[in-house]
């Protein structure tokens, strides 16, 4: 089975540090006696530069140790991935100060890094997580002033094309964890591991039918634009090396935002298999509205060391903050004129995380995906020939419904 090789990671760090010190501080005979070396006047500027940035550079050491520990923990989890977590394991994991470490990481990710050291830091990250820098708008490491800027780097124009032959495209680059219909009010986060739709989305405040007692929560979400319509879902995981921005997967109108402050647990595929209800525990920003087939929602799920979730149309959203004392859930009605076209920029993560889309569609709707498949932003994820678009009469009714509501 796969186990992270700590010595390999150590060698990467050792090489980077060795090259760094050879280039910048070869004037020091012994690093351990750094404070006792008498410097000539021509080198005082370099010493001041080192002193001013020493706290930030040395700040990477505990983070590196934490990363190694997390990697080893993930390897251990992978060995026992056939079993779901027990309640005591969930309690222990949730008790870890992951929000504090994530806030520290967010602070560090926004700090400006000296130009000369950027290639070493970003180069190490690129080789470790397999970043494809050829797709980035700028391939020069020195052009990214902070780690956060490097994580959320834009792509070159034309690198991603939006498939206009299907009604739904992937909102991001990532790995498909699961997709399919929502059954009995439950969603599968991975094969065989489910969580409650109601716990994930919360109270159905955005639908005027929420007081109909005889209907299930799942039925209340449906707009019934088409007969026999169903709820579908798709979960896509963004790895640390992926493109970190996400886009609108279709033409739609978000009308409501709900923010759960939640926890900041890891959302990688191994954790999703191990911890049932993971996405219901984590911090998340839910954007609910409507599209041509009825209800549509897109959810950005936070994770450990995600500095922030940034939504371009929602400047008031604040994530990865100290634990909220008054409210765990914060709602907001969005601008009634807000519209998104397929492929429009929607938001960004400051590190890898997860996007969940939950939507209403006709019973003839079919995905063209494989679990575990890598997808790119703009790639069609449903079958154009089998997913039947509504006819002209139904389109007219749909448009009338949207404008009326």
Catalytic site includes residue 314: no
In terms of pLDDT, which residue wins out, 234 or 205? 234
Please pick, among 170, 173, 223, 293, the residue that the annotation labels catalytic: 173
3-state secondary structure (DSSP) of residue 318: coil
Q: Which residues pair with 361 in a beta bridge?
A: 230
For the ranges 12-16, 17-21, 38-42, the lowest mean pLDDT is seen at 38-42
Range from 100-114, 175-189, 383-397 carrying the lowest mean pLDDT: 383-397
CA distance 172 to 375: 8
Q: Identify which of 101-105, 236-240, 272-276 has the greatest average pLDDT.
A: 236-240
pLDDT attached to residue 143: 94
Residue 26 vs residue 206, higher pLDDT? 206
Least confident stretch, 154-158, 209-213, 320-324, 385-389: 385-389
Show Cβ contacts of residue 53 under 8 Å, excluding neighbours closer than 6 positions.
114, 117
| The token pair that represents 312 in the structure block | 């371009």
pLDDT tens-place string over residues 55-99: 555 555 566 556 555 555 555 555 444 567 767 776 776 677 677
Average pLDDT over residues 299-311: 80
Least confident of 16-30, 78-92, 125-139, 202-216: 16-30
Kind of pairing between the strands at 245-247 and 329-333: unpaired
Average pLDDT of span 327-350: 90
Is 353 annotated in the active site?
yes
Token match 């929502």: residue? Answer: 182
Region 330-341: mean pLDDT is 91
Domains in the chain: boundaries = 169-206+216-383
Active site residue 331: no
Question: Of the listed 170, 229, 297, 353, which one is catalytic?
Answer: 353
Take residue 161 and report the two structure tokens written for it.
């094309």
Query: Nearest Cα to 84, choosing from 234, 236, 272, 264?
Result: 272
- The residue among 44 and 158 whose pLDDT is bigger is 158
pLDDT at 209: 56
Report which of residues 42 and 365 the model is more confident about.
Answer: 365
Q: Residue written as tokens 């180069």?
A: 123
Task: Calculate the average pLDDT of the chain.
Answer: 76
What pLDDT, on the 0 to 100 scale, is given for residue 48?
Answer: 56
More confident residue, 84 or 224: 224
Q: Is the pLDDT of residue 382 over 80?
A: yes
Residues 6+ apart with CB under 8 A from 224: 294
Is 298 a residue whose pLDDT tops 70? Answer: yes
User: Is residue 285 within 8 Å of 94, Cβ to Cβ?
Assistant: no
Q: Band of the pLDDT at 347, cuts 50, 70, 90?
A: very high
Catalytic residue among 247, 261, 266, 308: 247
Whole-model pTM? 0.73
Name the band, by pLDDT with cuts 50, 70 and 90, for residue 11. low
**pLDDT score recorded for residue 37:** 43
* Residues facing 291 on adjacent strands: 252, 294
Q: Which residues are CB-contacts of 130 (< 8 A; sequence separation ≥ 6)?
A: 241
């Amino acid at each position: 089975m796969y186990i992270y090789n700590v010595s390999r990671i150590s060698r990467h760090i050792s090489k980077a540090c060795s090259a760094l010190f050879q280039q910048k501080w070869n004037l020091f005979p012994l690093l351990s006696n750094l404070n006792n070396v008498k410097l000539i006047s021509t080198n005082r500027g370099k010493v001041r530069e080192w002193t001013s940035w020493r706290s930030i550079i040395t700040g990477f050491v505990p983070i590196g140790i934490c990363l190694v520990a997390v990697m080893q923990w993930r390897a251990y989890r992978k060995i026992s991935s056939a079993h779901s977590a027990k309640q005591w394991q969930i309690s222990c994991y949730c008790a870890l100060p992951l929000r504090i470490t994530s806030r520290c990481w967010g602070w560090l990710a926004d700090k400006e890094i000296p130009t000369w050291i950027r290639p070493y830091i970003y180069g190490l990250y690129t080789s470790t997580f397999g970043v494809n820098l050829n797709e980035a708008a700028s391939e020069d490491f020195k052009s990214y002033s902070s780690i956060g800027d490097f994580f959320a780097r834009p792509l070159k124009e034309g690198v991603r094309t939006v498939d206009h032959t299907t009604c739904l495209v992937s909102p991001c680059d990532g790995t498909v964890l699961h997709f399919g219909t929502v059954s009995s009010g439950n969603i599968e986060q991975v094969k065989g591991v489910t969580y409650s739709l109601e716990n994930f989305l919360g109270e159905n405040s955005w639908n005027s039918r929420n007081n109909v007692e005889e209907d299930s929560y799942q039925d209340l979400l449906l707009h019934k634009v088409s007969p026999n319509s169903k709820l579908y879902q798709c979960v896509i995981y963004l790895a640390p090396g992926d493109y970190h921005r996400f886009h609108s997967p279709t033409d739609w109108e978000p009308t409501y935002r709900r923010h759960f402050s939640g926890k900041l647990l890891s959302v990688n595929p191994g954790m999703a298999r191990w911890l049932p209800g993971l996405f219901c525990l984590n911090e998340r920003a839910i954007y609910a509205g409507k599209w041509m087939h009825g209800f549509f929602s897109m959810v950005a799920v936070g994770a450990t060391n995600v500095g922030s979730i940034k939504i371009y149309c929602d400047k008031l959203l604040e994530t990865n903050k100290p634990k909220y004392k008054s409210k765990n859930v914060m709602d907001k009605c969005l601008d009634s004129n807000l519209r998104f076209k397929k492929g429009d920029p929607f938001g960004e993560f400051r590190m890898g995380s997860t996007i969940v889309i939950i939507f209403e569609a006709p019973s003839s709707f079919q995905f063209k995906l494989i679990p575990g498949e890598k997808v790119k932003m703009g790639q069609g994820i449903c079958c154009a020939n089998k997913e039947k678009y509504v006819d002209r009469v139904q389109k007219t009714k749909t448009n009338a419904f949207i404008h009326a509501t």
